[in-house]
Chains A and B, each alone.
Chain A
Amino acid sequence: DVKVTQSSRYLVKRTGEKVFLECVQDMDHENMFWYRQDPGLGLRLIYFSYDVKMKEKGDIPEGYSVSREKKERFSLILESASTNQTSMYLCASSAGGLNTEAFFGQGTRLTVV
């Protein structure tokens, strides 16, 4: 069974803090993605990566950065957390190629106060 694990289910952080969200997958997948999900807006792509040390901006990268030093791990970094980054964050991975299934982690609900 493919497993995508996010380090925390719930996080509460203060405005201005630097926040790290970690995601690890155990299926040697090339592709990894970070989304945020908000009511009425669905899943919006923040960043994605097709290979180690490679990253591409998604649709809403502002205020975020990512790191992929190892194939299995894709980290999302909030450089200076703000209240409008309160959201559900979902990590996904998929094998290389076009028609491959994406597997999701259980999500991290981040609240910035």
Chain B
Amino acid sequence: RKEVEQDPGPFNVPEGATVAFNCTYSNSASQSFFWYRQDCRKEPKLLMSVYSSGNEDGRFTAQLNRASQYISLLIRDSKLSDSATYLCVVFGNKLIFGAGTRLAVHP
């Protein structure tokens, strides 16, 4: 079983849609959680950290469920510029990335 698992997608949504990604992790001792964004042919960049209480940054909301060992990312009012691959990242004693979920937002 992979340490961090994500649905690879692609998720094809129209502009303005709300879309949610989930991610599960296997190491219950994991301590920090993140969502990264990777554009085509670019390096990954931090989108947001994920806190136990949940956190929001504009149109993006991240949630953590430690009991079920999953992390979610909700994107509201999708924009064309949100098209990218979203990587779930977990830090236990090392920084582990999920394989990513591809989002394509169309007009």
**A residues lining the B interface (CB < 8 Å):** 31, 33, 35, 40-45, 48, 56, 58-59, 90, 92, 94, 98-99, 101-102, 104-107
B94 within 8 A of A: yes
Please state if A42 and B100 are interface contacts (CB–CB under 8 Å): yes
Chain A residues positioned under 8 Å from B89 (CB to CB): 102
Q: Contacting chain A: which of B12-20, B43-51, B60-68, B73-81?
A: B43-51
B105 within 8 A of A: no
Please state if A35 and B97 are interface contacts (CB–CB under 8 Å): yes
18 A-B pairs whose Cβ atoms sit less than 8 Å apart in the complex: A35-B97, A40-B8, A42-B98, A44-B97, A45-B97, A56-B94, A58-B94, A59-B3, A90-B43, A94-B95, A99-B32, A99-B49, A99-B91, A101-B34, A101-B49, A102-B95, A105-B43, A107-B43
Q: How far is the CA of A59 from the CA of B94 in the complex (A)?
A: 10
Chain B residues positioned under 8 Å from A106 (CB to CB): 42-43
Give, as a whole number of angstroms, the nearest-CB distance from A37 to chain B.
9
Give, as a whole number of angstroms, the nearest-CB distance from B10 to chain A.
12
Q: How far is the CA of A6 from the CA of B45 in the complex (A)?
A: 16
Give, as a whole number of angstroms, the nearest-CB distance from B82 to chain A.
19
Please state if B43 and A48 are interface contacts (CB–CB under 8 Å): no
Give, as a whole number of angstroms, the nearest-CB distance from A87 to chain B.
14
CB contacts under 8 Å to A, within B14-52, are 31-32, 34, 42-46, 49
Give, as a whole number of angstroms, the nearest-CB distance from A44 to chain B.
8
Q: How far is the CA of A52 from the CA of B45 in the complex (A)?
A: 25
